[in-house]
Amino acid sequence: MTQKFDVVVIGAGPGGYVAAIKAAQLGLSTACIEKYTDKEGKLALGGTCLNVGCIPSKALLDSSWKYKEAKEGFAIHGINHAGVTMDVAAMVGRKANIVKGLTSGVATLFKANGVTSLQGHGKLLAGKKVELTKPDGTVEIIEAENVILASGSRPIDIPPAPVDQNVIVDSTGALEFQSVPKRLGVIGAGVIGLELGSVWSRLGSEVVVLEALEKFLPAADDAVSKEAYKTLTKQGLNIKLGARVTGSKVNGDEVVVNYTDANGEQNITFDKLIVAVGRRPVTTELLAADSGVTIDERGFVFVDDQCATSVPGVFAIGDVVRGMMLAHKASEEGIMVVERIKGHKAQINYDLIPSVIYTHPEIAWVGKTEQTLKAEGVEVNVGTFPFAASGRAMAANDTGGFVKVIADAKTDRVLGVHVIGPSAAELVQQGAIGMEFGTSAEDLGMMVFSHPTLSEALHEAALAVNGGAIHIANRKKR
């Protein structure tokens, strides 16, 4: 007997599983298809984010930072110790336990909300039918009123450095090192490369980051990018800009990497090499030839602003569609799509999706950068406040970085909030909330912020926009 559902979701990542749960909560019969299995061969929900992305990398980032703090940062607090060591296997094991707890939690949520979990590979056929190929090879056809494509993304492979998951690894392999590599190479100075490079650098690796672009973190505000480069370099990351990898050769337990830079052809030897040059959508074998859904030359599914494809009743969300590859973007797109399926009005403000890099200090921003606004001819006023002037940051001995608020010079409306420093992600989110409601810098400056908090840095930066900061000397208003 053919199974029929109001909604069938292909993919149980942060976009897919959230969409499935929301659909079930709204009274729609819902199934979610996922094929990913863990090391034990069991179905693992949660997609890249929970299994081999956001969550496990943050677990390693937190563990490695605590180790670095214990070695280098406790003495100033009067905490004396000696002989601090890192058990890498235990650190990786802790990460695995966190992942297992969260992925099993998604399964529990599916049961609690009445979502039917189906294991296997899903392919969209014509007429909104979905072909489910189960682990045993058997095939079942499922009928759906609505289909949501949420198959996610995978690391990009590059011919000059083919991944073997031994010496040359992708972001997934870099989460599983059982010892600290003495010489670690990272191709790509993006979010993934900087985060993973930071993890192993803190534990003792000599890390070299090879970035083909001449500009560091081009999506970030220039002031933030410069501060991040200076800080991460000081921490030990050797970031080589304008370094394009041309080839590599594995010799036993090491790899020789060839690259070109301003000085010509170069080579360098590593014990491990992480390829972190970005991700590509997983749309291979997702669509039958007659499904009616179209994709572009890079493999992204064409959708409109509400994530609808060219086929009525078929939607696509997350990493398989245009825009930033971010878990929170995928989740909100999933909710938006389901709300629209139910006939409710729902949309996403794509201009206010925060970006975060979980290095230390954290780097985060929302809205536009100062250089983008000036290129668009928008006259702006800018306020900054350094964490070096924050009492709370000083008490925590974490005073690097600053908060930057950018406002329209004519209307005072906040157009961008950029932070590098402690709790940057949380502070930027405060800015995003205000910006969603059209806040002005004056509005933020008139709000009462609790003391002592890191949030006061946002308050002071907003005051500084119009020359009214209290705890730093003000620049002339532009």
* Cα–Cα nearest to 413, from 453, 386, 381, 388: 381
What are 437's two structure tokens?
């409601």
Q: How many CB atoms lie within 10 A of CB 61?
A: 19
What pairs with residue 61 in β-bridges? none
Question: Can you tell me the distance from the alpha carbon of 443 to that of 458, in angstroms, rounded to the nearest whole number?
Answer: 12
DSSP 8-state class, residue 308 = B
Question: Can you tell me the distance from the alpha carbon of 356 to that of 249, in angstroms, rounded to the nearest whole number?
Answer: 34
Question: Can you tell me the distance from the alpha carbon of 402 to that of 418, in angstroms, rounded to the nearest whole number?
Answer: 8
Length of the chain: 478
Look-up of token digits 């590593």: 270
Report the sign of the C-alpha dihedral through residues 47, 51, 52, 55, in that order: positive
- The residues near 414 (Cβ < 8 Å, ≥ 6 apart) are 367, 405, 406, 407, 431, 434, 435, 439, 440, 441, 444, 462
Report the sign of the C-alpha dihedral through residues 347, 351, 354, 355, in that order: positive
The kind and range of the H/E element at 90 are helix 88-113
Question: Can you tell me the distance from the alpha carbon of 198 to that of 186, in angstroms, rounded to the nearest whole number?
Answer: 10
Report the sign of the C-alpha dihedral through residues 401, 407, 412, 415, in that order: negative
Q: How many CB atoms lie within 10 A of CB 444?
A: 25
For residue 298, the one-letter residue type is R
What are 307's two structure tokens?
């994530």
Active site residue 451: yes
Catalytic residue among 81, 121, 360, 451: 451
Do the Cβ atoms of 420 and 363 come closer than 8 Å?
Answer: yes
For every residue of 46-64, DSSP letters joined together read SHHHHHHSHHHHHHHHHHH
Question: Can you tell me the distance from the alpha carbon of 117 to that of 106, in angstroms, rounded to the nearest whole number?
Answer: 10
What pairs with residue 251 in β-bridges? 254
Q: What is the Cα Rg of the chain in Å?
A: 24
For residue 330, the one-letter residue type is A
What are 193's two structure tokens?
């490369």
Active-site residue numbers? 451
